């Protein structure tokens, strides 16, 4: 029974069968929201799906040797890591089995970003290398805040287990952590104030410059899955506790949708920052609050 539930979670909800259409849907919502905010009508509903199918049907340039093999492998590793992260989310009320671990989820969420860095460097394109260097710098900046936020949430609730976190009532400190995660999400998803690695007017497409056809389709899919996983993480931490499974699923989807709208609105309303401004933003402005959150969480824990 446990095996069946675990498989159902990984393959159906919130796993692959839900996550892939959700990824396309979120990509569409982002493009549509940005278009509406710019006074345009925007792409049709099925657009990310059409893009995906079209890219599958395109040819790829010949890739030779170990470098070529690696270039082909990165997008698939990124997709599987992001899909695994979505499958781990404790959306439905727990019924035994593997309960999900916050540290494993963080590792899986970080893997696509590492794949992007490696892909840019193995592509050999100068624009890819610049994009990868930017991605690395960005990752070092926001991850400190992201990890501290997660640590403060875990410390305030005395657990690293995802399903335990999702089913405890939220303390004020957890809300602080959720806000800190929200501040990191635009950088994690390469959205506009921090869209440095794929800055299209400066360095073409950054690490993706040399990718074409099915490999590019996999990158698009992994980006969409990252959207689902990242917004899903915030949604599970912020969602109220519900016993019935359909209400839990509904609240999860609605919260994800609201977060996507919020992030798209921020992306449409802002311009790209410089790399040093971004680093300063995370290391100087946000880090203080994250450290305060962790300190107060630990303090509360020792007092209790």
Q: Which of 24, 28, 74, 211 binds other proteins (CB under 8 A)?
A: 211
How near is the Cβ of 130 to other proteins at its closest, in Å? 13
Q: What is the C-alpha to C-alpha distance for residues 130 and 200, in angstroms, rounded to an integer?
A: 12
**Per-residue interface string for the shown chain with other proteins, residues 165-204, x marking contact by CB under 8 A:** -----------------------------------xx-xx
Q: What is the C-alpha to C-alpha distance for residues 171 and 168, in angstroms, rounded to an integer?
A: 9
Q: Does 45 bind other proteins (CB under 8 A)?
A: no
* Choices 38-46, 107-115, 146-154, 163-171 (CB under 8 A): range interacting with other proteins: 38-46
How near is the Cβ of 231 to other proteins at its closest, in Å? 23
Q: Does 40 bind other proteins (CB under 8 A)?
A: yes
**Per-residue interface string for the shown chain with other proteins, residues 241-280, x marking contact by CB under 8 A:** ----------------------------------------
* Choices 15-23, 43-51, 187-195, 233-241 (CB under 8 A): range interacting with other proteins: 43-51
Q: Does 299 bind other proteins (CB under 8 A)?
A: no
Q: What tokens appear for 25 in the block? A: 């849907």
Q: Does 53 bind other proteins (CB under 8 A)?
A: yes
Q: Which of 6, 11, 35, 137 binds other proteins (CB under 8 A)?
A: 35
Complete DSSP assignment for the chain: -HHHHHHHHHHTSSSHHHHHHHHHHHHHHHHHHHHHHTT-----TTHHHHHHHHHHTS------HHHHHHHHHHHHHHHHHHHHHHHH---SPP-SS---BHHHHHHHHHHHHHHHHHHHHHH--HHHHHHHHHHHHHHHHHHHHHHHHHHHHHHHHT--BHHHHHHSPPPHHHHHHHHHHHHHHHHHTT-GGG--TT-HHHHTTGGGTT--HHHHHHHHHHHHHHHHHHHHHHHHHHSPP-SSHHHHHHHHHHHHHHHHHHHHHHHHH--PPPHHHHHHIIIIIIHHHHHHHHHHHHHHHHH-
Query: Which residue, 61 or 67, has its beta carbon nearer to other proteins?
Result: 61
CB neighbour burial string for 141-179, b if at least 16 within 10 angstroms, e if fewer: bbbbbbbbbbbbbbbbbeebbbbbbbbeebeebbebbbe
Contact criterion met (CB below 8 Å) for 211 and 119: yes
Q: Does 41 bind other proteins (CB under 8 A)?
A: yes
How near is the Cβ of 228 to other proteins at its closest, in Å? 21
Q: Which of 59, 169, 274, 284 binds other proteins (CB under 8 A)?
A: 59
Q: Which of 106, 175, 213, 287 binds other proteins (CB under 8 A)?
A: 213
Q: Does 62 bind other proteins (CB under 8 A)?
A: no
Q: Does 58 bind other proteins (CB under 8 A)?
A: yes
Query: Which residue, 177 or 207, has its beta carbon nearer to other proteins?
Result: 207
* Choices 41-49, 74-82, 187-195, 239-247 (CB under 8 A): range interacting with other proteins: 41-49
Q: Does 205 bind other proteins (CB under 8 A)?
A: yes
Contact residues for other proteins, defined by CB under 8 A: 31, 35, 38-44, 46-47, 49-51, 53-54, 57-61, 127, 200-201, 203-205, 208-213, 216
């Amino acid at each position: 029974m446990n095996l069946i539930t675990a498989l159902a979670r990984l393959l159906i909800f919130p796993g692959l069968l839900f996550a892939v259409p959700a990824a396309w849907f979120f990509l569409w919502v982002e493009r549509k929201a940005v278009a509406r905010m710019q006074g345009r009508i925007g792409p049709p509903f099925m657009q990310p799906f059409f893009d995906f199918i079209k890219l599958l049907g395109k040819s790829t340039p010949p890739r030779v040797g170990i470098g070529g093999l690696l270039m082909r492998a990165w997008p698939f590793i990124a997709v599987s890591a992001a899909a695994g992260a979505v499958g781990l989310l404790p959306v439905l009320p727990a019924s035994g089995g593997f309960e999900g671990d916050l540290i494993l989820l963080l590792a899986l969420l970080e893997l696509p970003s590492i794949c992007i860095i490696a892909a840019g460097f193995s592509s050999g394109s100068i624009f890819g290398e610049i994009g990868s260097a930017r991605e690395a710098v960005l990752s070092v900046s926001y991850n400190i805040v992201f990890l501290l936020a997660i640590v403060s949430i875990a410390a305030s609730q005395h657990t690293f287990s995802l399903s335990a976190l999702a089913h405890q009532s939220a303390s004020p400190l957890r809300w602080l952590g959720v806000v800190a995660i929200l501040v990191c999400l635009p950088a994690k998803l390469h959205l506009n104030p921090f869209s440095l690695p794929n800055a299209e007017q400066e360095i073409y497409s950054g690490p993706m410059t040399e990718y074409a056809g099915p490999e590019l389709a996999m990158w698009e899919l992994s980006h969409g899955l990252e959207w689902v996983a990242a917004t899903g993480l915030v949604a599970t931490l912020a969602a109220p506790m519900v016993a019935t499974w359909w209400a839990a699923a509904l609240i999860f989807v609605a919260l994800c949708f609201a977060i996507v709208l919020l992030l798209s609105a921020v992306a449409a309303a802002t311009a790209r920052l410089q790399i040093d401004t971004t680093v300063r933003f995370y290391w100087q402005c946000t880090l203080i609050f994250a450290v305060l959150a962790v300190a107060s969480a630990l303090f509360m824990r020792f007092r209790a």
